Structure 1
Amino acid sequence: MAAPQRYYSSSYSPLVGNTAAFYSSNQELDQYDDHAQKAYGMPSKYSQDDDRSTYDNHNAPLTYDNLNTLKGPRPQRPKAGWSKKRKYVVFGIIAVVAVIILAVVIGIVVALTHKSTPYNYIPLTDQVTNETSFNFGATKNDPSNVNDGVGAGQDAYTYYSGTADQFPNPDKWISFQDLWNGNLYAMKHACKNLKVGKDNSDKDNEYIYAAIQDRAAASLVDHRFILAIILQESHGCVRVGETTSSTGITNPGLMQSHNGKVYSETHANASIWQMVQDGTQGTNQSAGYGLVQNLDLYGNAYSAARGYNSGYLPTSGNLSEAAGATACYVSDVANRLTGWANATSKCSSSGS
C-alpha cells in the first residue's frame, strides 16, 4: 500500500512562501525532515504517521488555499522605533540642554578665574613734608579721632573768592564724622543721580570710609580734606565716569585722579582703596600729582585744591577763577568743609 501523501504546514517550513510544500513519498518526507532538522532544529525522524500528524497539528500557524499552494509568506510585525519627528524633538531638547549646561560651566569657570586673580593694590608711603601745610590741610593727628572739628556746622553756602586767606580757616571745619554723616545719603544715591549705573552698596561706602582713614594715616593729609575732594569730584559714586584732557590724560575714579584706576565690581574693596590712594598720594607711574604733592607745592588746602583741579594756580591768585577748570571748585570744597551738604549753591558754576 502506498504511503499516504501529506504536506507540512509547520511554521518551521523552510519553504514558506514557495509552492513546493507537497511531498509524495516517505523518502521525500525524510529528506525534508533532515533539511528542517539542520535549519530549524526540528525532529529528524518520525517512526509513525501519527507522530508526524501530531507535530503538524501543533506547529501549523499558516493556512493554505489548497493542498499544493501556500497562501503566502507570514506577515511581518512592523519594527519598533521612534518616528523622525520624535527623534528631532528629543535630540533638539538634548542639544538645547547641552548648550545651557556648557554656558553655565563656562560662566562659572570665567567667574572663578576672575575672582582668583588678585587685584594688584600696592600701598604707597608718600607723605606731606611741607611744614606749612600742617596748619592748613595736613595733620599729624591720629585720624581715628573722627570728632575732630566744630561739630556739624551749618548746611548753608557762602561764596568765597580771592587768595587762600579769604577762605575759612581749618578751625572752622566740621568733624570728619559730621562731614561723613551729612553727605552719606547723597553718596548712597549719587550713581543713579549721575546716571552711571547702580548705586553704591553699603559695603562700598564702608570701604570708602576705611580707605580714607587708612590713606590719611599713611599720607598725613587731613581725612576731612580727602573726603571733601571725593564729594567734589564724584559725589562719592564709585562707578563715576572719567574725563579726558586734550593731551590724553584720563581722570577716573572717586577722586578723578591723574591716569588712575577705576572701580572693579569683582575687587570692590581693593579698587576703592586704589582710587582713594591715587587721588591722595598721586599716581607715581603716570607722574600724576595727588593731594600730597599739591600740599607740598602750595602749603595750604585751598591752593592745593585749585592745583588739583586745574593743574596750576591762576596768575591773579584768585582761587575762584576757573584757571582752565571749574571756577567754583575751591569755594565748593570750602563750603563742604564747613557743613554744606544740601543747601542751594550761591556759585553760578558750582560742581566738579
Structure 2
Amino acid sequence: MVAIEETTGGRSAAEVLAGVRDIVDPVLRATVQTLPPSPRAIAEYHFGWRDERGNPVGGAGGKMFRPALALLAAETVGGRAEDAVPAAVAVELVHNFSLLHDDVMDGDTTRRHRATAWSVFGVGGAILTGDALLSLAFDALAAGSGHTPPEAAHRLNEAVQRLIDGQSADMDFERRTDVGPAECRSMAEAKTGALLGGACGLGAAFGGTTPQGAEDMRRFGELLGLAFQIADDLLGIWGDPAVTGKPVHSDLRNRKKTLPVVAALAAGAAESGELAALFARERSLEGPDLVRAAELVERAGGRDWGERETEALLERSLEHLRAAAAAASPAAELAALARLATRRDH
C-alpha cells in the first residue's frame, strides 16, 4: 500500500488531462477514421472535431476523463501509460456510444455547448453511429498486440452490459412512482460506475498488476463512478448551463429518478409528497413547475444527502486506490482527478 498525497506532485489536474489528450487523441482520431463514411461524419461531429458540414473545428472534444483513469491506473500499479492506450481508446469509444444513445433517449438537444448529433443528423444516424463506436471499441482494445491481457475483452464486455442494464433501469424509473433508494443506487452503479470501474480495471490489467490489484482498481473506479453520478445529478438540477452544457433542470424535465430526487421522495417530509405529486402529473414539467421541483428536492433533504454521500463514496474509493497503488505519483494524480470529478462547481 502506497500513501497518497493530496497534491499531484507538480502536475495540475488540467495538465494531467492535457497530457492524456496528447497521448490518446491521435490514436482515437485514427481509430474513428476507420469507420465507413456515414458514421464517421457523425462521430467526428459528435466528438467536436468537425461541424455539421464536415469542416474542421477547433474544439477539443470531451474531457478525456475515462482515458485518464485507464492510463493512470496502469502507471499506479507499476506499468507504463503507453501500454494502456488501447484500453483508454476503447473506454472513450464506449462512453461516446452511450452518450449518442442517451441523448436520443432523453431527447436532449444540447451537449458540450452545441447541438446533439441526433438533432442535426437524425435519430437513426445517431443510433447507428453509437452502434459503430461500440463495435469499434473492441477492435481498439485488441490493438495492444502482445500487451493485451487475455481477459481484456471480457472486462470491457462486462462493463458495457452493466452500463446498458443501468441505462435501461434509468429509463424504466421515469415511468414508475415507486423507485426506492437501493434500486436507484444499483442503477447508478451500473450506468456510470461500471464503465469507470472498467476503465480503471482495464488500465491496471494492461499495467501488469495482479488479479487482486485489478479488482481493487476496478472498485476504486466503480465507487468513484457512483460518487461522480451523484455529483452529476446535483449539477443536473442546480448546475449552470454555461458550465454543464445542458439545459437548466434537464433531469427534472425528463422526470429522472436521480439519487437526490429519490432521497427527497423517500424522506417522508411534506415536500416529499408535493414532489411526488408533481412528478405524477400527466402534463410536462416546464417553467415554474421545474423551479418548484428543484426547491422541493432541496427542502426535503435531497441536496444535502447528495453532497454528503458524494464525499463518503469518494473516501471509500480512495481506500481501494491505496490498496492497489505501487507508484505514489500517478496514484496521487488519480486521487486529485477523482476529487476534481466529484466537485459540484465544475
TM-score, structure 2 normalization: 0.25
Q: Whose helix fraction is larger, Structure 1's or Structure 2's?
A: 2
Structure with the larger RCO, 1 or 2 (CA within 8 Å, 6+ apart):
2
Pick the structure with greater CA Rg.
1
